[in-house]
Structure 1
Amino acid sequence: MTDERKTELQRNLDEVNARVAAACAAAHRVRADVRVLAVTKTFPASDIDLLAELGFTDVGESRDQEARLKKAEVKAFLRWHMIGQVQRKKAKQVAHWADLVEGVDRADLADALQLGAQSAEKNLEVLIQVSLDPDGTQNRGGVDRGQVVALAEHILALSHLTLAGVMAVAPLGGDPEAAFELLARAHERLLGVAPGAQMVSAGMSGDLEAAIIHGATQVRIGGALLGNRPPLT
C-alpha cells in the first residue's frame, strides 16, 4: 500500500508541478521562485513521510492537536506551517510546534505568539493574513488591507517574531485574479516598512495560476496533491 500511495503522490505532484511551471512561464517568472506547500491536514503522518521522500521540505496543518501528534510521529525533519485562524488561547501551544504561522491578523494574537515563542526559546516566523473579502464582509479572515502596515509595525517590535510576508485566501465565489491583485498591492505597502518580508502565500488547488500571476511565492496545495480529504473526526 505504501508503494501504491507513493506512486499516487508522485503522479499528483508531477501534475501540480506542471501547472506551477506553466503559470510561472505565463507570468515570466522563474519556477524556482514558487514553493509548493503540502497541506496535510486530516491526512496521516505516513503521507507526510512519503512527501518528504518525494522532496518536500514544508507541510501545512490547521489544527493544533492534530499537528502536534503528527509532528511527533513523522520521521522526516520538516518545516511545519500553521495555516488559517489561530485562537489566542492556543497560541502558546502553536508557537511550540510551528516553524511559521500563516494567519496573524491582529495584534493580540501576535502578542500571544510572542509569549509562546519566548517560552519555547525560539524565533517564530509569521505571515500577516490579509482579508481579500469585499468591503463590509469577513468570510475568509484576515486584517483589513488598510491596517496591514500598522499590524506589521506592531509585529516588528516583538523580539521573538520574524515577519516573513503575507498570506491570503481568495473570497468564495469571487474573481481570484482581482483578489490576488489586491494582495499584491498590500504586500507592496508592507515592503515599505518590512523590506525583508518577501513571502506571499496565496493560491490553492483551484486558483494557483491566478496567485502566481500576481506574485505568490508559495502556493498551498491539498486536494490536488493528496486527493480527497478523509472525513474530519
Structure 2
Amino acid sequence: MEIIQQNIEKLKLKIKHAAAKSGRSPEDIHIVAVTKTIPPETIQAAVDRGIKILGENRVQEAQQKVGLVKGDISWHMIGHLQKNKVKYAVKLFSMIQSVDSYELAAEIDKRAGMLGKVMDVLIQVNIGREKTKFGAEYEEIPELIKKVSTLAHVKVRGLMAIAPFKEDPEDVRPFFRKMRELFTKIKSQELENVEMSFLSMGMTHDFHIAIEEGSNMIRIGTGIFGPRG
C-alpha cells in the first residue's frame, strides 16, 4: 500500500500548486476518492492515509463496501442514480452529487423524508452537452435549482460537472470557467434552502485546471489507487 501513500502525497503537492494559482489554501480543496471497482482493503489504506470522502458510482457496489471501510469518512454518490435505487442511496450516502432532474430530486425528497433526514445534493450539469453523459443542460440549471429548493428533505449544496475529455487538459479550461460563472451567479441569488458550498469538478487528468478555475471538490480515482485492472 506504499504506492497509495506516494500517490496521495503527489496529489496533495499538485493541489497545493493549483490552489496557490487561484489564491486559495490547499485545505479549501476537498478530495473525493473514486472507489469504483476498488476493494475495501485498498480503500481502507487510502482512508488510513488521510482520505475522508469516498465516491461510488453505483449503489450496488456501495452496498458491498460501506460497512467494511472504517474511519471518519463520508460516502458520496457520484454516478448516475436511477429512481428505483434512491431508497437505498438515501441510506448509504451523505451526499448525492448527480441530481440532474426535478423528478429525481422529488424521489430523493420522498425517501429522505421517510427516514427523517435532509439529503445534501449537488446538481449535475452536462457542461459539454455530450450525449454520452448525464446532467441537466447549462441553461436549465437556475430554474431547476429554484424548483428543487422547494423540497423539504433535499438541500442543494452546489454543482457538479464532468468536463469533456481532452488530451490537453488546457482545452477544458473554458468549460470549468463556465461552471464557475454559473456557480457564482446562483450563489449571488441567495435562494432559500440553497447553500452553494461545493463546486465539484476535475478528475485525475484535469483537476489542476479545475482548481485553478474555482473547483473546491475534485474526484480522483487513478491518481490515488493507480490504473484499474
Under a length normalisation based on structure 2, what TM-score does the superposition of the two structures give? 0.92
1:80-159 alignment, distance < 5 Å? 80-134=75-129, 137-159=130-152
Correspondence for 2:156: 163
Q: CA deviation at 1:193?
A: 4.1
1:138 CA drift (Å): 2.9
SS at match of 1:91: helix
**1:28, CA displacement in angstroms?**
1.9
Alignment-mate amino acid for residue 181 of structure 1: R
Gaps of 5+ in 2: none
Per-residue deviation, residues 44-81 of structure 1 (Å, max 9, x unmatched): 11122222211121100011011011002222242100
| Paired residues, number | 223
Q: Structure 1 residues 14-23 or 169-178, which shifts more? A: 169-178
SS of the counterpart of 2:196? Answer: coil
Give the corresponding residue for 1:13: 8
Q: Partners in 1 of 2:10 and 2:156 — Cα distance?
A: 32
Per the alignment, residue 220 of structure 2 pairs with 221
For structure 1, the 5+ residue unaligned runs are none
The answer to whether the 8 A contact 2:155-2:195 is kept is no
Which segment is superposed worse, 137-146 or 206-215? 137-146
CA RMSD of aligned residues (A): 1.5
Residue aligning to 1:197: 196
Q: Is 1:179 equivalent to 2:172 in the alignment?
A: no
Q: Per-residue deviation at 1:105? A: 0.7
Q: Percent identity?
A: 29
1:44-63 aligned within 5 A: 44-63=39-58
2:222 and 2:109 mapped to 1: Cα distance? 32
* Shift, 1:172, TM fit: 2.9
CA contact (8 A) 1:139 1:171 kept: no
**Poorly superposed stretches of 4+, deviation over 4 Å:** none
- Equivalent of residue 184 in structure 2, options 162, 185, 188: 188
Amino acid at match of 1:29: R
Length-normalised TM-score, structure 1: 0.91
Q: What is the DSSP-based 3-state SS (H/G/I as helix, E as strand, rest coil) of the residue aligned with 1:198?
A: strand
Secondary structure of 2:32's aligned partner: strand
Name the CA distance, whole Å, in 1 between partners of 2:111 and 2:50: 30
The answer to whether the Cα contact below 8 Å between 1:180 and 1:211 also exists between their aligned partners in 2 is yes
